[in-house]
Amino acid sequence: MVTVGPVGVESPDRLYTVIGGRRGADVALDPVSLVVAESGPSPDMQSEHVDILRLCVRPVAVVELAARLGLPLSVVRILLGDLLDRGAVIARHPVPPINGEGTRNDPETLKQVLHALQRL
């Protein structure tokens, strides 16, 4: 008997096969990290790697890749880790806060920028 799930939802067995049974990525990628391809696909790559490289011609956020591929974020992180190891992609991580306590852009600075933009 074949069980059919919702459209666009991958089978857990297929996802397990795609990532080779691995549970986590070796590289910690933030969901908003930008990824861009450094090379084209090669014949020995699995289809998911090829799809990622084609989507990363311009910088794309990790979370956007997951959405476009219809794969869980954890699976995409593992696949990106493979591509990072091969040097096929590079990732630019979000800018960390200036200090450990606050955010990089405080609300007052953002208000000033907004007012300056509105005056243009």
> 100 phi and psi, to 5 degrees?
-70, -10
Global pTM value: 0.64
Quick one: which of 14, 15, 37 has its CA closest to 88? 37
Positive/negative CA dihedral, 53, 57, 63, 64: negative
Query: What CA–CA distance (Å, rounded) separates 94 from 89?
Result: 16
If you ran DSSP here, which 8-state letter would residue 99 be given?
S
State pLDDT tens for residues 23-67.
Answer: 655 667 888 899 999 988 888 888 888 999 999 999 999 999 999
The residue among 23, 26, 1 whose CA lies nearest residue 12 is 23
